[in-house]
Chains A and B, each alone.
Chain A
Amino acid sequence: MTATAPAPAPSPDTKTDERLLKTSPLKKLMGRPELGSVVGAIAVFLFFAIVADSFLQANSLATVTYAASTIGIMAVPVALLMIGGEFDLSAGVMVTTSALISSMFSYQMTANVWVGVVVSLLATLAVGVFNGVMLTRTDPPSFIITLGTFLMLTGMNLGFTKLISGTVSTKSIADMEGFSSAKDVFASTITIGGVDFKITIVWWLALIAVATWILLRTRVGNWIFAVGGGEDAARAVGVPVAATKIGLYMGVAFGAWISGQHLLFSYDVVQSGEGVGNELIYIIAAVIGGCLITGGYGSAVGAAVGALIFGMVSKGIVFAEWNPDWFKFFLGVMLLLATLLNHWVRKRAEATK
């Protein structure tokens, strides 16, 4: 489990250090964790380009990218958390929680919806802090702790919504002040050359860029790899393990907030029972993208490509108009193939190193 973080800044007397040996750009590329998923993504893309004739239309590709972005916005921070060696099973329902808080706060207070949006950001981040603090302060693994959070949030989503709204979905906030501007930010459509792209794609790309920068260009990135690679060793060399992990959970919470606001402002009412099961999709996307389940290895770009594969497969099956009875089966086969290919490419890449 080696970190792919850059070598420390060169000092004059380490010219012969093996870490500073020049490697060819090709070899560098072969060593990237996302390489396998990129090859897998190209394979899936070519496959559907051949079997589904409408797949290559610009509008179809915009739809696929939208599907990928809604998964990717969460898959990127989830991947960072996994590189840091932890899981978050509450990520799926946290999206719904975030949307519910914005909607209900604005509605009940008859406040400008932006107030609800800000309150929801703080509340969602608080859930992330809760996960992180519980994990670093107590003994159980993140799997158990976030499973607890997952169940609590699922119950609270339903319980509070019913208690406050009287029904299991929130009331419409579409007629309230601030709605249209918030919709522009979280759920608008951008038309480029006659093709409609959803704004979630922009959020997704921004998150990929920020996450990649953090991972590869900052000290925090080194901490994340170190914490995931070996917690005790990282602590021994002075990495703030607790703060790093709490930060990673807050990152997931931030992603959940963006997704949640998108959900709210696309449909202006939120069903309180939604989101269950999505946490697995985020983890799957990160794993397809080359993140190791054991931590310490992976990349944000890889997770994004994993989300793209997921988006292409799930929508490609629809474009290909295959018998819907077999939908889940096709999905499973495609995902398995993509992951195996990904794995094979990585093995080859490591062998040629």
Chain B
Amino acid sequence: MARVQTGVRAVGAVLVAVLGVSLAGCSSTGGKRAEDARKAAAAQGKAAVNTPRWTFGMVTHSGDGDTFWDIVQNGAEQAAVKDNIKFLYAHDDEAQQQAQLVDSYVDKKVDGIIVSLAKPDAMKGPLARAKKAGIPVITVNSGSAESKEFGALTHIGQDETIAGEAVGEELNKRGKKKALCILHEQGNVGHEQRCDGAEKTFDGKLQNLYVTGTNMPDVQSSIEARLQSDKDIDAVVTLGAPFADAAVKAKDGAGSKAEIDTFDLNEKVAAGLKSGTLGFAVDQQPYLQGYEAVDLLWLYKYNADVLGGGKPVLTGPQIITKDQAAELEDYAKRGTR
């Protein structure tokens, strides 16, 4: 065991040494320093109203480490700062767990609840409890069909089928004949709706390809394999921003001429659109979904306002191409687009 301890100590010593050296081995480009310079001008948010400090809770079906929901959360948090709201956030990709999280917010007697309805049936009970407890609910992202039925004030999000249809039309406009729809989560209803929507309006042929979203090299090699086996494919549509980059690498590896298009936006997608490696992105503006949900709850508490007359408020689809990319790149970099 003595040997082990010396080993551990040695590792520690080397670590300290490297930390020291790293200060010398600096990079003159990129990194935190460049970001700090960008941030220097940014202002700190402050409450703009003097309404009581209400507490709103948000529960989503997001998995761990999902970039999309991170942006939703950013939007909600910024609206919460402005509206003097104490904002709570919880998520679980298991329907049952998500339902329990909503229940616990109802038990906490929060002043408002925001919830996503990706697995609507599981949310029915908890939302009925919230209604009984007199807590206003706004649904976001998915579940526009069930929102009203479950007693929510309104729904803020994108209709996945409509978004898919927009993709099909855009592909037609670009003269594509054979497209591949990359689903990174098998069994996700929203993903199926997107690809089905695209297939509905697309005049060419659209095929689905399932990949393991938690394993990027697998995503890349699967797309690459399909592009190698079918040289006629002239468009690849990924359903999440991080997968667009893997698709670009797969395309290069397969020597394919296919155009890569994607749902959702992030820093790399914006840069890709700008440089032309990506064709277009379908944005449902996640920031808006979080921001509006908190803001509309505040408006309801403050002024009994309801936007959309109870009908879903759509945040997308917005088709983003090269023209808008430059402008959006900075916003994507700070995590709000």
Interface residues of A (CB under 8 A from B): 52-55, 57, 59-60, 63-64, 66-67, 70, 105-115, 118-119, 122-123, 125-126, 129, 133, 136-137, 154, 157-158, 161-162, 166-169, 171-178, 189, 196, 242-243, 246, 262-263, 266-267, 269, 271-278, 311, 314-315, 318-321, 324, 327-328
Known: A115-B22, A122-B11, A242-B1. A106 touches B31 (CB 8 A): yes
Q: Is the CB of B255 within 8 A of A59?
A: yes
- Nearest CB of B to A90, in Å: 15
Q: Is the CB of A59 within 8 A of B254?
A: yes
22 contacts between A and B (CB under 8 A): A53-B229, A54-B230, A60-B228, A63-B228, A70-B218, A107-B31, A110-B26, A110-B31, A115-B21, A118-B18, A119-B22, A166-B335, A171-B267, A174-B30, A176-B27, A271-B242, A274-B216, A275-B215, A314-B218, A314-B222, A321-B226, A328-B186
Cα distance, A136 to B65, chains bound together (Å): 33
Q: Is the CB of A167 within 8 A of B67?
A: yes
Interface residues of B in 32-62 (CB under 8 A from A): 32-35
A327 neighbours in B (Cβ, 8 Å)? 186, 210
Known: A54-B229, A175-B30. A246 touches B4 (CB 8 A): yes
A60 neighbours in B (Cβ, 8 Å)? 225, 228-229
Interface residues of B (CB under 8 A from A): 1, 3-4, 7-8, 11, 14-15, 18-19, 21-23, 25-35, 63-67, 70, 183, 186, 207-210, 212, 214-218, 220-222, 224-226, 228-230, 242, 245-246, 249, 253-255, 266-268, 335
- Nearest CB of B to A20, in Å: 34
Q: Is the CB of B18 within 8 A of A168?
A: no
**Chain B residue at smallest Cβ distance from A318:** B225
Known: A111-B25, A243-B4, A324-B210. A64 touches B32 (CB 8 A): no
Q: Is the CB of B225 within 8 A of A315?
A: yes
Which one, B18, B67, B253, contacts A271 given CB within 8 A? B67
Cα distance, A154 to B228, chains bound together (Å): 35
Q: Is the CB of B26 within 8 A of A126?
A: no
Cα distance, A319 to B225, chains bound together (Å): 6
Cα distance, A171 to B30, chains bound together (Å): 10
B222 neighbours in A (Cβ, 8 Å)? 67, 314-315, 318
Q: Is the CB of B268 within 8 A of A269?
A: yes
- Nearest CB of A to B108, in Å: 23
Cα distance, A318 to B23, chains bound together (Å): 47
**Chain A residue at smallest Cβ distance from B33:** A110
Cα distance, A55 to B246, chains bound together (Å): 21
Known: A52-B229, A63-B224. A273 touches B64 (CB 8 A): yes
Which one, A107, A108, A158, A324, contacts B208 given CB within 8 A? A324
- Nearest CB of A to B257, in Å: 15
Known: A115-B25, A272-B65. A133 touches B215 (CB 8 A): no
Cα distance, A4 to B32, chains bound together (Å): 52
A328 neighbours in B (Cβ, 8 Å)? 186
- Nearest CB of B to A119, in Å: 6
- Nearest CB of B to A334, in Å: 15
Cα distance, A314 to B215, chains bound together (Å): 13
Which one, A178, A267, A319, contacts B27 given CB within 8 A? A178
Cα distance, A158 to B29, chains bound together (Å): 26
Q: Is the CB of B26 within 8 A of A112?
A: yes
Known: A67-B221, A196-B253, A273-B214. A318 touches B226 (CB 8 A): yes
B209 neighbours in A (Cβ, 8 Å)? 318, 324
**Chain B residue at smallest Cβ distance from A274:** B214
- Nearest CB of A to B263, in Å: 16
B31 neighbours in A (Cβ, 8 Å)? 106-111, 173, 176
Cα distance, A274 to B64, chains bound together (Å): 9
Which one, B32, B33, B221, contacts A63 given CB within 8 A? B221
Q: Is the CB of B14 within 8 A of A63?
A: no
A109 neighbours in B (Cβ, 8 Å)? 22-23, 26, 31-32
Q: Which of B19, B23, B30, B210 has the most CB of A within 10 A?
A: B30
Which one, B11, B207, B246, contacts A125 given CB within 8 A? B11
**Chain B residue at smallest Cβ distance from A68:** B221
Cα distance, A118 to B18, chains bound together (Å): 8
Q: Is the CB of B15 within 8 A of A119?
A: yes
Which one, A105, A133, A320, contacts B4 given CB within 8 A? A133
Cα distance, A119 to B15, chains bound together (Å): 7
- Nearest CB of A to B70, in Å: 5
Cα distance, A166 to B27, chains bound together (Å): 21
A173 neighbours in B (Cβ, 8 Å)? 30-31
Known: A111-B27, A115-B22. A315 touches B15 (CB 8 A): no
- Nearest CB of B to A311, in Å: 8
Q: Is the CB of A114 within 8 A of B25?
A: yes
